[in-house]
Structure 1
């Protein structure tokens, strides 16, 4: 019976991987389909199949998505755009530094498409006849998003480490010693982000000069420029609620499980005070991301209970050779993540590789946090092809870039980021402790 469960789980895992790659169905639908299949075949019971929705990780991610959406509707975004307008008189490295800084800031507050839409409106007002033309600046914005995505525990960034935990916590039995904290992506990613930004400052001339075509893509509501329709009172409530949530994360060790209640309380206040409508709140709480996380949480448990996780981990270890070094394991997974995310989304790449990476680390007696953090950070390096992420899609479409011609900029960037990521991860999370 155990062998049958193992085989069924592996088949479901293959389906999940293929579905995430071809992106024909949403991630949430794929995850739920896998969980229902596991329940119907008896690999997990019905109670376990739906336990992901009551998991504190899922609840925190759902509530943080609502709060992040509220921040995106405030005048903060308009203020950032006004500050960017003052940079138009600058030139050279200073201008690039300002553009990268604004982009990195916005990346912590909202989705990639919204950031690209705001930056595009700013870039369009600039001179297009100089070496630092509009298309080059736009591509630098997309690269900056990939460089700084998920680094700070702000907005959705606070939930990203918890999302990665959801992908493999069932494999470690919920042992907090092997789970990521909200600041761990910042620890591992800060040095590479700084190095990647420095690369952009001095290597921007490697980006081909193009003429942008704003009709090439529909930015939808993201192209509205971040104008706020909130009253000052509502904006103040959003800022206070956001600050309370972030402070709660800082004192998570002292607060314990109470930290999960803070964003939920903030949302309730938003609802009663009219900051957000019930429809908007429910839309965030029932998003595709939430269904995906709830499903993958249960799937990681199925990997552990069926023995499939151990099987996959041992299989990868055999492929890496007897007693592989921690360096080899980290190099392999960050390379695979960087390559895979070139052709599919960050979310799909991370969801596919994280359980496999964690299984491999656990089977080899390693600290799974090292490889898991590298998988996430490697999956952010999605600038080499239009399908990598939303930022890349906008940059390639509007800038009409040829992926082959951009290789002279993107390939060194990815290689430099990989090297610094490996160094940083092994400093903070030595693979063998």
Structure 2
């Protein structure tokens, strides 16, 4: 039997055993015009699968990029398959997003694939990643530094993205194309060792193959073991998660007492927090013994040492410091932070931290709603004299995120209400002739 027939049979068996749902699905295949994606198209055609082609022109190689697009259009015509194309200004996107050209192309590619898929009801998107790509990704992550998850390689399935060639080698794919006289396009940038992936492909892997001619087979076995280990770790973290982590309005809370009792605490913290972009794992582990208030930051999040918890929140935006005005006569005021209802009543009935009753005559409009700042002072209802807001927070043992998300309703320069906490005594109803205004807050 010809090798191309063997590969077609192997591909069909793989679809039948591991991806049976693809046989009846509406598929979109990402096709660059290169060897791997062109072979994937031919294999899917031989398996009588229903698919269309999507091609990205990143406009990075001038006439060569346009020739790739023409080649893919001709491929679609030859196979009687619908082709979608899109042109991108990749360099401009990379500059605006402050990412590398490779990352920009990746973002543009997958964003468009997902948009196309949603608009035209494609069930799955197929890409032509193969075993050599998987090894290269493993080595890149190993060189840059990574956790166990970074060593498990390219996932065969990632939501709607399916990679049915991941078990085939580049050598098998090229042999198939040559035996069947299938043309493809060569990307000249793949020959440049200035890119890390190319350097690994052209210089590192050949040396490794000299040492071990069964490199890909050995790698597949190692990766299988790594995936099993990762599954074990994830199962362990799953059992611990509900004991350690809880969620509140501001983010997540990690129980310090439990973290200190379990073995391998640093590794557990890594597994729990790795998706939030942290890199300073020694500093994070050090928070367990640090003074309350110490923080570690990622680009998007922060981890705060509180009394009994590590608090994980997004880094506050300056937009949250906006001041809102409330005019006299406003009954319902809907704001991004919640809704205030102002209602004139004849008696005090409902009680709770979510509502207060004030003497309407004491108010001076417009009322303002703002975040607290150092030096703020109010007269807590039920207490004599004045108190700093910061001391009030300390007495109530509020965490930093709770303090940051606390709003003050003010009448001119006087604090009327520490919202959801305490009213100010200066606005209390002290005379039967006072008009009673009930103010209610809800999220």
TM-score range, shorter chain: under 0.3
Larger radius of gyration: 2
Larger % of helix: which? 1
The higher relative CO (CA closer than 8 Å, separation ≥ 6) is in 1
Q: What TM-score, normalized by structure 1, do the two folds share?
A: 0.22
Q: What TM-score, normalized by structure 2, do the two folds share?
A: 0.22
Larger % of strand: which? 2
